[in-house]
Structure 1
């Protein structure tokens, strides 16, 4: 089953406005709406950071069909895994069969401001794995006592569990976490614009390897989701210029590692020329050309494409994309 979703840009729009875009996406035929859970945005001026959990509850109440979830939430620092388990069980009761918990190992931008000591990748991976396994256990068992390396529960019970289980998707951009998704998760999340070889030679083989080690079938048991960064407009210059707001995404790991201040992140991003900010996006004014570039991710094997548009006029994007691009992709898919 091929699905096409809308990424609600929590870092760019205030909560009520963003909620309207989520509703509009359902009305225009998108299959899902996902939101990131950030404490701080990528930029200070004009930035936003609504809490994902109450926002998803509001979206659940105002929609009927679309799949909703996080892409991604970090269940290892700001939240105890049991709190995440309780919150998403509640969401699953409110919107049965329509909720996804997308998790990842986190960004220092969101965790360090609350006092977390930012660990190395090995520890973040270990925390994520333990958190996911604990959440799954809390959803399937009562009176859970857990003495782990990082988390502890004593006779904990999630009393309101949805009849339809909430799937967990693991977001990753490296092979270790990707293999973990294949072994223990219901889906895998990654982002576009990093070179085709990363997906075809590293990530997709890793998730398949993890699934096979657990005796699972990749095509049957996991949703392969990618957040595709697209800037589509009838005016090519406008489509290119729109990417400037999200310049931080074009910073190299060396340029942004250890930056916990949105003001400094914004300064570094704003110093980039548009020739660099466009590099993470599929930028086009031609519908056929644009759809063909997006469809390359379908050809790789991804089954769930969630579109993130950088421009300030999301109403314009949603209408253009629903009218010009989604029909071409559905025919291709």
Structure 2
């Protein structure tokens, strides 16, 4: 999955399933993940939130525990966090230990997707002030250095700006290195992903020019570190509400209205009740972050734009309360054509940002 050896060969496109931990309980979500693999999807990703987007009816299972359960129910799907924050409520050494264990249980099919965090998940769990963007990026970079050392060395003494270890050993260390994908929505984080990540993660539904810029920043970061940009995986969570009944497809989006809030509206919100209030006030805009359609070819064409941009891993987030319905209809109606579209994709050349 990582492809960080400098090779310019792009591995096959993967199509995966976003297990919506904010919307469903852990037991039910394991069943959906197993169904996704059964229906032919290649990857299962989940977020790691301490609190969900909605207080009423929301869920927030711990991803570290949940992925272990999913690993026992699946055989080939790659398991990923999209994303986990290894810097605030977790110490990086604990994340390294947990993913070392996952890597032993599911060899060759674990990806650690990480991000710089959200106030709603970090502040309530610790009572600590949520750092600014610069400090969060610096913490993220330092955590990557420490986790990789713990996966490759014994008796690690580490003295960083934010973290330290003393004679630390992770005893469960898989032979296959665990890829680290870095989430980014801005240029500096994207450059960080290119410099030190094995992959880059972002979400769909924004201006295409933003993705060109971010991918250019990723390429710039990779080049500055002496790496070929094509060696990095490029994952995007695609928000798609497909249903054979168009009205159902639109209605399904409303639960996820928080995704349609602007960054200014969401920044600093620590309480799920407040996030829920903001989301409900903007519920009529919920569909704007999703591909909403009852036409399989229209869905294929719109997802295809991300393939053309150069994304290699497509993670499908269906918003509806009936996930089995979504998986059955999408995998029957859309997936075969999407596979063909991926096979014939001609992504634009990755260029550094101007």
TM-score, normalising length: structure 1: 0.98
SS in 1 for 2:334: helix
1:204 aligns with 2:212: no
Cα RMSD, aligned residues only: 0.8
Unpaired runs of 5+ residues, structure 1, are none
* Equivalent of residue 257 in structure 1, options 242, 267, 277: 267
Partner of 1:59: 70
Unpaired runs of 5+ residues, structure 2, are 1-11, 343-354
1:320 aligns with 2:329: yes
SS in 2 for 1:37: coil
SS in 2 for 1:258: coil
| Worse-superposed segment, 252-261 or 56-65 | 252-261
| Worse-superposed segment, 174-183 or 39-48 | 174-183
Answer whether contact 2:300 2:341 (CA < 8 A) is retained.
no
Deviation at 1:290, TM superposition (A): 1.1
1:268 aligns with 2:300: no
SS in 2 for 1:205: helix
1:134 aligns with 2:151: no
Partner of 2:237: 227
Listed as ranges, the matches of 1:174-185 within 5 Å are 174-185=186-197
- Runs of 4+, deviation exceeding 4 Å: none
1:92 aligns with 2:103: yes
CA distance in 1, matches of 2:130, 2:339: 42
- When the two structures are aligned, how many residues end up with a matched partner? 330
Partner of 1:299: 308
CA distance in 2, matches of 1:281, 1:58: 29
Listed as ranges, the matches of 1:1-333 within 5 Å are 1-114=12-125, 115-200=127-212, 202-219=213-230, 221-274=231-284, 276-333=285-342
SS in 2 for 1:46: coil
SS in 2 for 1:241: helix
Deviation at 1:279, TM superposition (A): 0.9
Deviation at 1:183, TM superposition (A): 1.2
Deviation at 1:52, TM superposition (A): 0.3
CA distance in 2, matches of 1:273, 1:118: 27
Deviations 1:252-311 (A, max 9, x none): 12212211110111011011142x111111111111111100111001000100000110
Deviation at 1:218, TM superposition (A): 2.1
Answer whether contact 2:234 2:310 (CA < 8 A) is retained.
yes
Answer whether contact 2:104 2:174 (CA < 8 A) is retained.
yes
SS in 2 for 1:165: coil
CA distance in 1, matches of 2:89, 2:295: 43
SS in 2 for 1:239: helix
CA distance in 2, matches of 1:246, 1:57: 26
CA distance in 1, matches of 2:190, 2:328: 34
SS in 2 for 1:197: helix
CA distance in 1, matches of 2:336, 2:110: 25
